[in-house]
Structure 1
Amino acid sequence: MKAVIALEDGTVFEGLSFTGHGEAIGEIVFNTSMSGYQEVLTDPSYTGQMVVMTYPLIGNYGVNPDDMESAAVHPKAFLVKEYHAIPCNHRARQNLADFLKTYGVLGVEGFDTRALVRHIRTAGAMKAIVSTEDTDPESLVDKAINWQGLIGRDMVERVSCQSPYGWSNNMPVPGTSFETAPGSADALKVVAFDFGIKYNQLRILTDKGCRVQVVPATTDSATVLAMQPDGIFLSNGPGDPAGVAGVVATIRELLGRLPIFGICLGHQMLGLAYGGSTYKLKFGHRGGNQPVKDLHTGKVEITSQNHGFCVDIDTLDPDQVELTHINLNDGSCEGMRHKRYPAFSVQYHPEHAPGPHDAMYLFDRFIELMHKQRRPR
């Protein structure tokens, strides 16, 4: 059935829904990954957004339970050039359309995704709406204009867990504590703040021998310290870091007490805790092919990324914080470390879900830092 996509600047595209009736409004962004659409859809960082895939054929390998990065689908709508309804892969357990319908997400195909992406690259990410119910372009543009957008809003509260949980056998374990979590008695203990955490971050930490306790974003520093962890992990998440309430103060209270490793939104929250500021990128970095240079080694990593905001490195004290990685496309901050405290972070996603494995060494760095800082028991 006919679906109309309208952007706040008046640009309109017509396509076809492959998931039935619906209407969705959000920030429209694009992802350049050639595969990994299930991981994209289940990444909580896409909360409040509509995703356009630049790769033209989507759905050809279906979906399966093993590639979930969270327990739900988070984009408001999924926009593709051509939907492939019949998956051809031995791992497939469901086709993409049925998967999207299960979570109430609108899927649209059959329009010029290349033209839309080129427009976003020129004009920037913006508010948009897609609908099969209201196909009047003027009405839809007005709705997009009047939507409140993402800037200044706390989107983390929509995706963070409500109570702590552990991770075992590749799945969440509600109510788990360090005392009951799998692993040896002397295993490193990591408290992971859930700002919209991806499962592969937990898989990697546990595969490397850590016992992990995931806690809500609103957890205070006293509660964390009472758990006596060896390190703090700050996860990815959606939206504007400046709109997330209370977390920056908590991180400041934890700085210097324990090793801290931040990814994506966790990196941005660390930047705010250091006294810096963040800004919105024109169209963000989303995909599995973003080049990042490690300024210590000179090596270039191909990375998986998904973010629309960035730490302004010029707002940080260079005597306190060192820039460690830069994006080679636009020179923006992709990594930093504190010179006094055992804390470091990256803007990109070293957990490679989806994407390359170039940055896996960062998890090893976190583990080495925890071993170095660990107090005798």
Structure 2
Amino acid sequence: MKGKLILENGMSFDGKIFGHFGETTGEIVFTTGMTGYQEILTDPSFYGKIVVMTYPMVGNYGLNLEDMESDKIHLKGFIIKEDAKLPNNFRCEMTLEGFLSQYNVVGFKGVDTRELTKIIRDNGSMKAIITDKELTHKELKERFDNFSYENAVEQVSRKGIIEIGGNGLKIGVLDLGVKRSTLDTLEKMGFAVSVFPFDTSSDELLKHKLDGLIISSGPGNPNEMDRIVRAVRGTLANIPMLGISLGAQIINLALGGKVAKMNNGHRGVNHPVEDLKRDKIYITSQNHGYSIEKLGISSEATHFNLNDKTVEGFRCDDLAAMGVQFMPDFYPEDSNNVFADFLSLIEKGVNLEGIEYCDMDEEFEN
């Protein structure tokens, strides 16, 4: 079916709609991975996004039920140059088009995705519409104005507490859109994992007498998540904490730091990150549209992005808190380093001596 991609800046592109035939509106972003399209489709952090794949052909190894990062597709639209008509892999269970159709997600193909990526790179992330209709300027404006994903975390978080096996340390996960691969990594490490809904209070978290708490990745603007920030702040002096992607931004805000929206964000599997402590470079998987602009109280940077010098990790030893902007569960060696650092924080515990915690609380209230 013929269709159009219309950007918020007025630019439009002709192409073909595939998967689910319909119309969709979202924030258009690009990701730079050559593979991993199934993980992208099912990553809750892409909720509300129309994702552009920069690699020209997508779908050549099909999709399967084992590599799902969640139980469905979360993004609003999927843009590619060309789809593989005959995927070839022994694990393939369905085609890309069939997968999109099953979950009622609009796909768009036949557009030069690298040209489109340059436009997004130069103009920044913006809203976009995929449609098979001829829309007037008034109709376009109405669709753009009506699109919002302020409650994105609420849409992707679990609704109740889930217990995952293991007899090791009791680790809680505050689910802001946690990926299955993150939970699988924790389970393989032998932790006794409890997954909590996004709106769990600090009092409820403290009742479970956790050895450590992980604030997960997820979608949305962290500056609009005061309720979650307050819950995290209420546990900072009591439970050692690790934040991943959005979770790292939430912890930084809870520590009194600042987070700002990026022009394009970091999305893909090839972002170089320097580990200052180990003097090593990691090639990382990332999916976030906000960066740490100012570190919180008693925090120091532990990782930097080599492309744009943004902070990719931090640590606050006194409050036993740390965060990373990249996804540690994708790379065994890097994962071991991140979780090894987290375990060291758990062992050391919290040291409030010299921390002006009340002053930080007052600053947050203001």
The reply to whether TM is greater than 0.5 is: yes
Equivalence for 2:47: 47
Cα displacement (A) at 1:84: 1.0
Describe how 1:76-155 pairs up with structure 2 within 5 A: 76-132=76-132, 134-136=133-135, 138=137, 141-143=140-142, 145-150=144-149, 153-155=150-152
Larger deviation, residues 205-214 vs 293-302: 293-302
Cα displacement (A) at 1:248: 0.8
Q: Higher relative contact order at CA 8 Å, sep ≥6: structure 1 or structure 2?
A: 1
In the alignment, structure 1 segments of 5+ residues that lack a partner are 168-181
Alignment deviations for residues 59-112 of structure 1 (CA, whole Å, 9 cap, x no partner): 111111110111110110010010113210000111111111111101111111
Say if 2:182 is the partner of 1:164.
no
The one-letter amino acid of 1:321's match is S
Say if 2:261 is the partner of 1:280.
yes
1:140/1:297 Cα in 2 relative to 1: closer, same or farther (>3 Å)? farther
Cα displacement (A) at 1:141: 4.2
Q: TM-score when scaled to structure 2?
A: 0.91
Residue 334 of structure 2 aligns to a residue whose secondary structure is coil
1:105/1:148 Cα in 2 relative to 1: closer, same or farther (>3 Å)? closer
Equivalence for 1:341: 319
Cα displacement (A) at 1:372: 4.7
The one-letter amino acid of 2:172's match is V
1:329/1:143 Cα in 2 relative to 1: closer, same or farther (>3 Å)? farther
User: Aligned residues, how many?
Assistant: 349
Partner Cα separation in structure 2 for residue 242 and residue 165 of structure 1: 27
Q: TM-score when scaled to structure 1?
A: 0.89
Alignment deviations for residues 1-45 of structure 1 (CA, whole Å, 9 cap, x no partner): 111000110010111112142111010000100101000111000
The one-letter amino acid of 2:308's match is D
The one-letter amino acid of 1:183's match is G
Equivalence for 2:334: 359
Describe how 1:188-227 pairs up with structure 2 within 5 A: 188-227=169-208
Residue 323 of structure 1 aligns to a residue whose secondary structure is strand
Partner Cα separation in structure 1 for residue 332 and residue 270 of structure 2: 11
Partner Cα separation in structure 2 for residue 268 and residue 293 of structure 1: 18
Partner Cα separation in structure 2 for residue 331 and residue 159 of structure 1: 30
Describe how 1:175-254 pairs up with structure 2 within 5 A: 182-184=165-167, 187-254=168-235
Partner Cα separation in structure 2 for residue 284 and residue 147 of structure 1: 23
Contact 2:42 2:69 in 1 (8 A): yes
Over the matched positions of the two proteins, sequence identity in percent amounts to 41
Partner Cα separation in structure 2 for residue 364 and residue 64 of structure 1: 32
1:243/1:325 Cα in 2 relative to 1: closer, same or farther (>3 Å)? same
Root-mean-square deviation (CA), in Å? Answer: 1.7
Describe how 1:19-30 pairs up with structure 2 within 5 A: 19-30=19-30
